[in-house]
Amino acid sequence: MLFRSVGGAAYDKFKHPLPPETLKITDASDAILFGSVGRDDLPQGLVEKEGLLAIRKYYGFFANLRPATIYSPLAEASSLKKERLTDDQGHAGFELLTVRELTGGAYFGDRVTMEETGGKYASDCMKYSREEIVRILKVGFEAARKRKKVLHSIDKANVLDSSKLWRSIAIEVGKEYPDVKLVHQYVDNAAMQIATWPRQFDVIVTENLFGDILSDLSAAITGSLGLLPSASINEKGFGMYEPSGGTAPDLMGLGIVNPIAQIRSAAMMLSYSFKLEKESQAIENAVAKALEKGARTIDICGKKEAYEKIRGPIAQKDKKAAQSILKEFNILNTEQIADRIIEEMK
Ligand code: IPM
Ligand code: MG
Is 155 known to be catalytic? no
Same domain, 122 and 169: yes
Please give the mean pLDDT across all residues of the chain: 95
Is 159 inside any structural domain?
yes
Question: Is the domain of 89 the same as that of 233?
Answer: yes
Q: What percent of the chain has pLDDT over 90?
A: 89
Residues 70 and 23 in one domain: no
Domain with 2 in it? 1-44
CATH value at residue 128: 3.40.718.10
User: Are 141 and 206 found together in one domain?
Assistant: yes
Whether residue 212 has its Cβ less than 6 Å from ligand 1: yes
The predicted pLDDT at position 213 comes to 98
Say if 334 falls within a structural domain.
Answer: no
With bands split at pLDDT 50, 70 and 90, how would you rate the model's confidence at 117? confident
Catalytic status, residue 216:
yes
State residue 75's pLDDT score. 87
Evaluate whether residue 285 is within a structural domain.
no
- Of 208, 224, 246, the residue that ends a domain is 246
Predicted confidence (pLDDT) per residue in 216-252, tens digit? 999 999 999 999 999 999 999 999 999 998 888 889 8
The reply to whether 297 falls in a domain is no
- One domain, residues 37 and 78: no
Cα–Cα distance between 150 and 200 in angstroms, integer? 9
- Identify the active-site residue in 212, 241, 272, 299: 212
Q: Does the structure show a pLDDT above 90 at 189? A: yes
Given this model, what pLDDT does residue 186 score? 98
The DSSP-derived string for 25-50 is HHHT-S-EE------TTSSTTHHIII
Q: Which atom of ligand 1 is nearest to the CA of 38?
A: 6
Is pLDDT above 90 for 69? Answer: yes
Among the atoms of ligand 1, which is closest to the Cα of residue 208? 12
From residue 226, give the alpha-carbon distance in Å to each of 98, 139, 151, 244, 300: 16, 25, 25, 8, 9
- Which of 221, 225, 272 has its CA nearest to residue 65? 272
Q: What is the pLDDT of residues 118-158, one digit of tens each?
A: 899 999 999 999 999 999 999 999 999 999 999 999 999 99
66 shares its domain with 198: yes
Strand ranges inside 92-148, DSSP E: 94-101, 111-116, 119-124
- Secondary structure of residue 340 in the 3-state scheme: helix
Asked if residue 255 belongs to a domain, the reply is no
88-116: average pLDDT: 93
223 with 232: CB under 8 angstroms?
no
Counting from 1 in the atom list of ligand 1, the atom nearest the Cα of 37 is 6
Q: pLDDT band for position 86 (50/70/90)?
A: confident
Query: pLDDT tens digits, residue range 274-320?
Result: 999 999 999 999 999 999 999 999 999 999 999 999 999 999 999 99
Model pLDDT for residues 17-63, shown as the tens digit of each residue? 999 999 999 999 999 999 988 888 899 999 999 999 999 999 999 99
| Domain C-terminal end among 246, 277, 294 | 246
Query: Does residue 286 lie within any of the structural domains?
Result: no
How many domains, the chain? 2
84 neighbors 53 (Cβ within 8 angstroms): no
Q: Are residues 7 and 118 in the same domain?
A: no
SS3 105: helix
What is the DSSP secondary structure assignment for residue 276, as one 8-state letter?
-
pLDDT given for residue 164 in this prediction: 98
148 and 223 share a domain? yes
Q: Phi first, then psi: what are they for 308, rounded to 5°?
A: -60, -45
Is there a single domain that holds both residue 2 and residue 130?
Answer: no
Same domain, yes or no: 38 and 73: no
Q: Is 48 in the pocket of ligand 1 (CB under 6 A)?
A: yes
Evaluate whether residue 86 is within a structural domain.
yes
pLDDT recorded at residue 211:
98
Residue 207 beta carbon below 6 angstroms from any ligand 1 atom: no
Query: What per-residue confidence (pLDDT) applies to 4?
Result: 96
CA pair distance 6, 23, nearest whole angstrom: 10
- How many whole angstroms separate alpha carbon 154 and alpha carbon 304? 34
Q: How far is CA 310 from CA 20, 280, 299, 326, in A?
A: 40, 34, 11, 8
From the list 128, 155, 156, 202, the catalytic residue is: 156
| Identified catalytic residue from 11, 59, 71, 107 | 107
Q: What is the pLDDT of residue 15?
A: 95
Q: Which of 246, 279, 310 is the last residue of a domain?
A: 246
Q: Are residues 39 and 104 in the same domain?
A: no
* CA 116 to centroid of ligand 1, rounded, Å: 31
223 in Cβ contact with 14 (< 8 Å): no
Based on the fold, state whether residues 13 and 142 are members of the same structural domain.
no
* 104 domain residue, yes or no: yes
Residue pair 205/153 in contact (Cβ under 8 Å)? The answer is: yes
Q: Which of 191 and 73 is assigned the larger pLDDT?
A: 191
Q: Is the pLDDT of residue 76 over 90?
A: no
